[in-house]
Amino acid sequence: MKNNSLVKDYLMRAQSRYKALDVYVGDENWADVVRESQEACELILKAVLRYSNIDPPRTHDVSIVLEENEKLLPKEIQKNLKEVCKISKTLRRDRELAFYGSDDLTPSEFYQKDDAMEARAWVKYLIDLTAGLKE
């Protein structure tokens, strides 16, 4: 059974994260823009799955589940599935790196404005694409 309240909650929380990105942009904190963008993306796509009566996996990238259930997804998602999956995979790849870094990578030095603005634009794209799910 679809839990419309949970779908709306995920979308609302993703919208809040999108708004918070402006703080990180203002601070030129590009790594955190990327990290928070991933979280917003994850919430949006898990809302899509719940809306489609699909239990989301407890993973950060749900692109495989989206692809496996394409016919059950809203038409707007189906039409844009390739781009949606690319966004999910790309942001998932950067999730931990943007937050923790590694021995040979410091997030604040690695991520640049272009990376952050692309991630932010992807979240806006997903928000716009799923606007009809709130109704």
pLDDT tens for 65-82 read 999 999 999 999 999 999
Domains belonging to the chain, first-starting first, are 4-130 (1.20.120.330)
How confident is the model over 112-126, as pLDDT tens digits?
999 999 999 999 999
Interatomic CA distance for residues 51 and 19, integer angstroms: 23
pTM for the whole structure: 0.95
C-alpha span between 128 and 52 (Å, rounded): 18
Alpha helices in 52-135 (DSSP H): 63-68, 75-79, 81-100, 107-110, 113-129
CA 57 to CA 75: how far, in whole Å? 21
Give Rg (Cα) of the chain.
15
